[in-house]
Amino acid sequence: MSDRVLVIIDDPFELSSVGAALKLHGVPVIGEADKKSTAINLFRSLQPNVVLLDMHKSNESSIEIAQLIRQESPWVGVVILVPCADMRLIGEDLLELPVGALLVLKNSLNNLSVLCEAISASRSFNEDMQVAWVNGAVTLCQKESKALMSDLSNTQIETLRHVAAGLTNAEIGRTRFVSEKAIEQILSRVAITLNIQPDPRKNMRVQLVREYLKWIGAPTH
């Protein structure tokens, strides 16, 4: 059976670009969706055997969509594009990925053939297979960032994500049911881990957000 690919990407420009590029490379893209509800409806009507996901610019989760699809079709191939090696930075839990899912680090893609190969390989899995990274040729900077972020706890990562989203310490405290002082202490420890030195000329929160954006590969200017 040949591949029948459903592309699910929450950025409209990237959705159309990736879909068109895959088609030019001979990949049979049978549908495109930019949100969960559309993706599930298209999956049920088109019956693809591979889904390519990248839902990291919205509040919807690539892993959640993959889980829902796997519940309906246990042997569908799953390929997920991710912007960074530590998925906690984008609010995803590596342990929740469906069996046999393939992860592709977006900024390690040298050409589209790697993604095409991942799509073709994604349906060849069994229940004992672990989640795998495709194209392990990550840069030294990426390896260093993954090692550095591994020193941060889940709570620290989540707090950093809230800061990047624009929440105040008081607002973060309410979401975590802790005091504002506790959030200040968490952020202070994050800054130490990320080697952000206190500087009266620079706002600490701005520096933390810049570091966060750097680690997920987003522009910082």
Where among 73, 104, 138 does a domain terminate? 138
Report how many domains make up the chain: 2
Question: pTM for the full model?
Answer: 0.79
**Given this model, what pLDDT does residue 51 score?**
98
Give one DSSP letter per residue of 122-186, joined into a string.
TT---TTPPPEEE-----HHHHHHHHHHTTS-HHHHHHHHHHHTT--HHHHHHHHTS-HHHHHHH
Side-by-side strand order, sheet with 5-9 = 29-33, 5-9, 50-54, 77-82, 102-105, 132-134
Distance CA 51, CA 39 (A): 9
Q: Are residues 78 and 117 in the same domain?
A: yes
Below-50 pLDDT ranges, the chain? 137, 139-140, 143
Distances in whole angstroms, Cα of residue 191 to Cα of each of 54, 90, 143, 176, 177:
29, 19, 20, 19, 22
* Residue numbers of the domain that contains 94: 5-138
Where among 138, 161, 190 does a domain terminate? 138
φ, ψ of residue 79 to 5 degrees: the values are -125, 125
**Given this model, what pLDDT does residue 140 score?**
44
Each residue of 79-126: pLDDT tens digit? 999 888 788 888 888 888 899 999 988 877 777 888 998 999 999 887
Where among 138, 160, 189 does a domain terminate? 138
Residue 145 lies in a domain: no
Q: Residue 182: which CATH number?
A: 1.10.10.10
Per-residue b/e over 25-55, b at no fewer than 16 CB within 10 Å? eebebebbbbebeebbebbeeeebbbbbbbb
Q: Are residues 124 and 198 in the same domain?
A: no
Tokens for 122, please give them.
């994604």
Q: Are residues 156 and 112 in the same domain?
A: no
Q: Are 28 and 5 in contact (CB under 8 A)?
A: yes
Give one DSSP letter per residue of 200-221, joined into a string.
TTS-HHHHHHHHHHHHTT----
**Given this model, what pLDDT does residue 219 score?**
56
